[in-house]
Amino acid sequence: MAQPLPVMFLADADGDWQVERISPVSGECLLPASGLTMIEGDSEADADGGVWCLRGVTSNPRYTIGAELKKLTSVSPLLGRREASCAALIPIKKSEVWWAMAQDERRAVFEESSHHIARSIKYLPAVARRLHHARDLGEPFDFLTWFEFAPEHRNAFEDLVGELRNTEEWIYVEREVDIRLARD
Amino acid sequence: MAQPLPVMFLADADGDWQVERISPVSGECLLPASGLTMIEGDSEADADGGVWCLRGVTSNPRYTIGAELKKLTSVSPLLGRREASCAALIPIKKSEVWWAMAQDERRAVFEESSHHIARSIKYLPAVARRLHHARDLGEPFDFLTWFEFAPEHRNAFEDLVGELRNTEEWIYVEREVDIRLARD
């Protein structure tokens, strides 16, 4: 676990990734844009342009226990694989009820009931994933999850997203936007 | 649990609190200053002045389980009590080894071994406490803990701080500064 990495997602007319669609899942959607760029590191200067800009930071694991962390680390690929020309950015905001819950209560919903880690690990290494925390930064979303996968794993990714949205954990999701991306 | 509250601690020649001493506990100390002001809410404009400025944000509980949270909530006083004319700000940075540990491993050190919550709760409501998270903000410290107490509880506060510094958890503290304050 390195130092937290600040990451900015900048939506604009152009970008490193072409936006295929921006779909509202729960609550207010984000404005349409045709390009998206992920900017790693501190870059306040870039935040002014663009149609919208979301910021997050990679951080330490919040629910993952030792055995899960070991397994995740062993099968998680790096981002930027040549064949992974599909991506998704899924910003999520959870309810105040979720955030008021104690650590063991959130963990019980997250994993013991919803199997968030167990479900996700089945899709590794096909679907690379990086979680960015945003709530403590005063951002409109609590989490920005970034996924990268090859075109042949599009259906697998749909399965993963569909599974998670049917869990008890998702009762606490009050805003969610699903942004699908591709690059040449 | 309300929305995360951004809080800034601004050290300068003057301030709402008079600085009694700034003591290095581990690692590099902070520069001397004679006054300190705690500023709640967003206030980027104020960050330019001052001898030093530390920022943090209140957030959701990270280790506290349900029974502990219930007990803590029932005995925790608000800040700003008239009789609480003594305060302390203790900024802490933990090691990379700490942050690389899984959630259950950190919880085991934090509470099952070090009894961080059980020790602290004994000093409530005498010693009011508010934790601010700073690591994900890119700040030099990971946590800024703020304490307020009446002069007759000075010794109790020394006991609390001394107890915690002797725990297994403190093996992972690589930088700590102890700032003591008073107001009229």
- Predicted confidence (pLDDT) per residue in B78-94, tens digit: 999 999 999 999 999 99
Token pair listed for B167: 């725990």
ipTM of the complex: 0.93
Q: Work out the average pLDDT over A59-63.
A: 96
**Which among A68, A96, A133 has the least Cβ separation from residue B136?**
A133
Q: Work out the average pLDDT over B127-145.
A: 97
Distances (CA, A) of B36 to B20, B32, B44: 10, 11, 17
- CB crowding B81-111: b at 16 or more within 10 Å, else e: eeebebbbbbbbbbeeebbebbbbebbbbbb
pTM of the model: 0.95
Helices in chain B by DSSP H: which ranges?
Answer: 66-75, 96-100, 103-107, 116-121, 154-165
Q: Work out the average pLDDT over B13-21.
A: 97
| pLDDT score for A48 | 66
Q: How far is the alpha carbon of B36 from chain A, nearest alpha carbon, in Å? A: 24
Distances (CA, A) of A101 to A109, B114, B152: 10, 23, 35
Say whether B136 and A59 touch across the interface (CB within 8 A). yes
Q: How far is the alpha carbon of A110 from chain B, nearest alpha carbon, in Å? A: 13
| pLDDT score for B89 | 98
**Which among A4, A42, A69 has the least Cβ separation from residue B102?**
A69
Report the distance separating Cα B124 and Cα B6, nearest Å. 24
Classify residue B35 as exposed, middle or buried by CB count within 10 Å of its CB (0-12, 13-18, 19+). Answer: middle
Token pair listed for A153: 């794993």
| pLDDT score for A184 | 85
Arithmetic mean of pLDDT over chain A: 95
Query: What's the pLDDT tens digit per position in A15-25?
Result: 999 999 999 99
